[in-house]
Every structure is written in C-alpha cells, then in structure tokens.
C-alpha cells in the first residue's frame, strides 16, 4: 500500500503544478476508499475537478503526467476523469467531462496524443456512480471539501448509471463471472436498502439476502476477488443467478 500512496501523492503534486489556480480539488473513490483495494486486481479511481474548461495544451501536459504516473500504479492502472465544478453542483446528468483516462485508452494516446485530447471529451453516465461514492465514502486528497463541491446525486440518476453496468448481465456473466456476480449484489443492495457497497461488501450482503442456492457462486466470486487462483464456477447456476437478480432489481 506504500507504493500506492506514493503514486497518489505524485498524482496530486503534479496535478497541482500543471493545473495551478484552475484546480478545485482531487478526490479518491472506488476500492481504495472502500476497504478492498487489491493492487493485483484494482485500479486507482480519481476525479479531478477544475474551475474552468481546459485548453488542449494543458490536457497534453496533464495526460503526459498521467501516463508516467500510471506506469508505477497498480496492475489495472489509474482511472481518472476531469470535470468542471459547475457540473458537480448542481449535478448534471449525463455528466460532461473534460478529459478521461483508463488503461484501455493507453494505446490511443500513445499513438496519437493530439487526436486523443481533441476527442476525449463528452458525457459519461458512470460519473453519477462515481460522484455518489465520493459523496458517501470518498476522500478529498487536495482542495475544497467534498460537501462544497459535489451535490447529492438523485437516486434515479444513480440507479440509471449502475443499471448500465449490469443490464446485459445474463449474457456477460459467463465471460466475467466474478465482476458481474458481485456487481449485481451491489445494485440490489442499493435498490432494496439504499446501501453504497464495495464488491466485497456486496458479496457479504448477498450471502445474507439472496437464496441459498446461489451462495456457492457468490462465495466463489468473493474468493476470486480476494485473489484466489483456484476458483471454479457452475455456469448454469451463474445464468440462473443473473436472471434472478435482474428480475429482483427491476421489480
């Protein structure tokens, strides 16, 4: 975790140097604030808030920094978005962003950075989920306090955001069993009880709240998430679980 802290500290320090007075704050969310960060399986989730939109030359400088810091990051790298303060409070949905990066975009930026900074701008429904986690469990790494920057995300927007992630679970669960199994649990926990949970916490909640026939699947997913290498799944049960959970979420 010391290496991760060094990565975060470097990201914060260099963000301040590049963005200067335009920087409102830097906020950590995801597994790193929810007690289940695993450097082999987790990414570092960061939201950077700025006062005013960024020029392309500043985006280039910022992205060069992110690529450098990302090389020292966890296995899944850094995932970050830059947004302007005026879309955080009052909250705008779908939420506009100035710049985004995750490991899957690394090749694009390295191949054509000018094209990347010109086109990597738009709206992202996922930001409703990220802002919700920041509001409930996030950490301000630098800048203005969370409650001053972020408005409460309406429940309908948050639900729409997390639904996007599991809408095709019946098909996706065979290819990404661990992720879909635990994510379905998180969504149902929010729908039924308004809980904002990590994947690990979602699995623990599901063991107490879904039929016992699915417990072996959930325990296997939790074991894989905790870094077990000898996990096997009953895929017929996984498909039944996905169907059951989707029905419960939509009911």
Span 95-138, pLDDT tens digits: 999 999 999 999 999 999 999 999 999 999 999 999 999 999 99
- In tens, the pLDDT along 7-61 reads 999 999 999 999 999 999 999 999 999 988 887 878 999 999 999 999 999 999 9
Together in a domain, 69 and 147: yes
Strand partners, 138: none
Determine, yes or no, domain membership for 160.
no
What mean pLDDT is reported for the chain? 95
- What does the pLDDT average to over 155-169? 94
Stronger pLDDT, 229 or 53, i.e. the higher one:
53
Paired with 209 in beta bridges are none
Domain count of the fold of the chain: 2
Judge if 86 and 141 occupy the same domain.
Answer: yes
* pLDDT at residue 227 in the model: 83
Asked whether residue 129 falls in the same domain as residue 36, the answer is yes
Q: Of 6, 172, 26, give the one whose Cα is nearest residue 85.
A: 26
Same-domain status, 149 and 171: no
Taking the C-alpha atoms of residue 89 and residue 27, their distance in angstroms, rounded to an integer, is 15
Residue 162 lies in a domain: no
- The answer on 29 and 139 residing in a single domain is yes
Q: Is the distance from CB of 61 to CB of 75 less than 8 angstroms?
A: no
End-to-end CA distance of the chain: 41
Q: Give me the percent of the chain exceeding a pLDDT of 90.
A: 90
pLDDT of the residue at 247: 97
Q: Tell me the residue range of the domain where 69 lies.
A: 2-153
Asked whether residue 159 is assigned to any structural domain, the reply reads no
Average pLDDT (80-99) is 98
User: What's the pLDDT score for residue 2?
Assistant: 53
Q: What is the CATH number of the domain that holds 35?
A: 3.30.460
pLDDT tens digits, one per residue of 165-181: 899 999 999 999 999 99
């Amino acid at each position: 975790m010391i290496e991760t802290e060094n990565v975060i500290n470097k990201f914060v320090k260099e963000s301040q140097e590049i963005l200067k007075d335009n920087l409102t704050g830097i906020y950590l969310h995801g597994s790193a604030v929810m007690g289940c960060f695993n450097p082999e399986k987790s990414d570092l989730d960061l939201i950077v808030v700025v006062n005013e939109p960024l020029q392309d030359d500043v985006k280039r400088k910022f992205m060069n920094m992110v690529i450098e810091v990302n090389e020292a990051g966890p296995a899944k790298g850094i995932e970050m978005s830059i947004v302007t303060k005026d879309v955080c409070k009052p909250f705008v949905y779908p939420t506009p962003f100035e710049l985004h990066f995750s490991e899957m975009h690394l090749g694009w930026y390295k191949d054509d950075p000018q094209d990347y900074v010109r086109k990597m701008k738009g709206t992202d429904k996922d930001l409703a989920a990220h802002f919700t986690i920041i509001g409930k469990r996030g950490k301000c790494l630098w800048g203005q306090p969370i409650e001053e920057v972020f408005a409460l995300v309406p429940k309908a927007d948050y639900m729409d955001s997390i639904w996007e992630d599991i809408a095709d679970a019946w098909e996706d669960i065979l290819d990404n069993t661990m992720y879909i199994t635990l994510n379905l649990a998180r969504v149902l926990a929010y729908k039924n009880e308004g809980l904002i949970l990590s994947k690990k916490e979602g699995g623990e909640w599901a063991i107490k709240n879904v039929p016992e026939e699915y417990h072996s699947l959930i325990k296997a997913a939790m074991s894989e998430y905790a870094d077990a290498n000898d996990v096997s799944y009953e895929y017929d049960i996984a498909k039944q679980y996905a169907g059951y959970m989707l029905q419960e979420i939509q009911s």
